């Protein structure tokens, strides 16, 4: 799911961005009202790792949240999406084995997402979690790799964090005592590479 400027999109396993109806529910979302503290031109980033290192160098602290938005023409973007699941829901680490991979070259669009501090382990994804959507809002996904030149980078420093939990239902009965750290690393950092290449 990608929320951008008040509009939400769902990137399904076919890579297409579908507008989300107001009535649709989601098991997990991280959202913020975006008011950038920094806006700057980013000359070049040759990889996702380099992008993260570059942004890290601009941040005043590792210990607060940041919302990040990058607009422009991207030389290369690699994203993934996972297919919808039925009950009983398998762990996400199993679901990503069925992930679809999408590649874009020389594409206009927006990267958007968050950088969260290490201490959120267990309730969010520590570090960067970015999604991409094309400028025409037709395609995108969870960002796995990227290369860019002369794009606009905006960073919002976020000093508060509010978490809403479900009222009852399966969430009340699920055993959440196990340590999911490894699973989250595999799922979010794309360490697992057995996906269906498209």
- Site residues, Zn ion (CB under 5 A): 142
Neighbours of 48 (CB within 10 A): 20
User: What contacts 24+ positions apart, CB below 8 Å, involve 186-192?
Assistant: 186/93, 186/96, 187/92, 187/93, 187/96, 188/125, 188/129, 190/80, 190/144, 192/93, 192/96, 192/97
**Minimal distance, residue 142 CB to Zn ion, in Å:** 4
**Minimal distance, residue 143 CB to Zn ion, in Å:** 8
**Are β-strands 140-158 and 17-19 bridged in parallel, bridged antiparallel, or unpaired?**
unpaired
**Minimal distance, residue 60 CB to Zn ion, in Å:** 25
**Minimal distance, residue 133 CB to Zn ion, in Å:** 12
Q: Which lies closer to Zn ion via its Cβ, residue 99 or residue 158?
A: 99
Q: Which lies closer to Zn ion via its Cβ, residue 55 or residue 144?
A: 144
Q: Which lies closer to Zn ion via its Cβ, residue 115 or residue 142?
A: 142
**Can you name the residues that pair with 71 across neighbouring β-strands?**
110, 152
Written as six digits, the tokens of 34 are 């975006």
**Minimal distance, residue 173 CB to Zn ion, in Å:** 26
Q: Which lies closer to Zn ion via its Cβ, residue 4 or residue 38?
A: 4
**Can you name the residues that pair with 72 across neighbouring β-strands?**
109
CA gap 112, 133 in Å, rounded: 8
Q: Which lies closer to Zn ion via its Cβ, residue 69 or residue 142?
A: 142
**Minimal distance, residue 167 CB to Zn ion, in Å:** 25
Residue closest to Zn ion (Cβ)? 142
């Amino acid at each position: 799911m990608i929320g951008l400027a008040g509009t939400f999109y769902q990137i399904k396993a076919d890579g297409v961005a579908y507008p989300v109806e107001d009535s649709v529910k989601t098991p997990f979302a991280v959202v913020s009202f975006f008011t950038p503290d920094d806006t700057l031109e980013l000359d070049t980033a040759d990889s996702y790792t380099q992008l993260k290192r570059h942004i890290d160098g601009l941040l005043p602290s590792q210990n607060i949240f940041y919302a990040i938005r990058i607009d422009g023409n991207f030389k290369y973007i690699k994203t993934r999406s996972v297919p919808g699941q039925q009950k009983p829901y398998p762990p996400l680490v199993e679901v990503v084995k069925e992930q679809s991979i999408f590649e874009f070259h020389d594409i206009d669009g927006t990267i958007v997402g968050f950088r969260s501090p290490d201490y959120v382990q267990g309730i969010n994804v520590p570090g960067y979690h970015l999604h991409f959507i094309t400028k025409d809002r037709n395609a995108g996904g969870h960002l796995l790799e990227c290369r860019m030149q002369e794009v606009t980078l905006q960073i919002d420093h976020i000093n508060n964090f509010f978490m809403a939990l479900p009222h009852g239902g399966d969430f009340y009965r699920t055993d959440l005592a196990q340590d999911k750290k490894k699973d989250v690393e595999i799922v979010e950092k794309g360490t697992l590479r057995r996906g269906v290449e498209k």
